[in-house]
Amino acid sequence: GDSVTQMEGPVTLSEEAFLTINCTYTATGYPSLFWYVQYPGEGLQLLLKATKADDKGSNKGFEATYRKETTSFHLEKGSVQVSDSAVYFCALSDRGTDKLIFGTGTRLQVFP
């Protein structure tokens, strides 16, 4: 079945460092791909999305490109801030069933 694999955390960075969180997926069709963010004590909220191959989703300085050839959707940010500290989830939505499946999450900790 469909699945999402993302790098384990925690990822620990200094402020203004470059961030990459890897995400790969397995799907029978052509899913939509998402990154969600979870701040402490809160539910998940959408960070960005891409609905077809080669689409780039972006928001708040974060970017991710839908790569069908490598089945990947890696999250990047050029310069992280302390306020970016959170747990980041990669997810896919199966077009046929609308089933929304998440990876296990990657905790990001940014220090001043």
Partner 1 sequence: DAGVIQSPRHEVTEMGQEVTLRCKPISGHDYLFWYRQTMMRGLELLIYFNNNVPIDDSGMPEDRFSAKMPNASFSTLKIQPSEPRDSAVYFCASSITQGNTEAFFGQGTRLTVV
Which residues of the chain form contacts with partner 1 (CB under 8 A)?
31-32, 34, 41-46, 49, 51, 89, 93-95, 97-105
Q: How far is the CB of 69 from partner 1 (least distance, A)?
A: 20
Alpha helix (H) ranges present in 9-87? none
Nearer to partner 1, 12 or 81 (CB): 12
Query: Coil, strand or helix: which one is 82?
Result: helix
Nearer to partner 1, 69 or 98 (CB): 98
Q: How far is the CB of 112 from partner 1 (least distance, A)?
A: 26
Q: Identify residue 65 by its one-letter amino acid code.
A: T
> How far apart are the C-alpha atoms of 44 and 91, rounded to whole Å?
11
Nearer to partner 1, 14 or 45 (CB): 45
Counting Cα atoms < 13 Å in the Cβ hemisphere of 53 gives 7
Cα-trace Rg, the chain? 13
Q: How far is the CB of 14 from partner 1 (least distance, A)?
A: 26
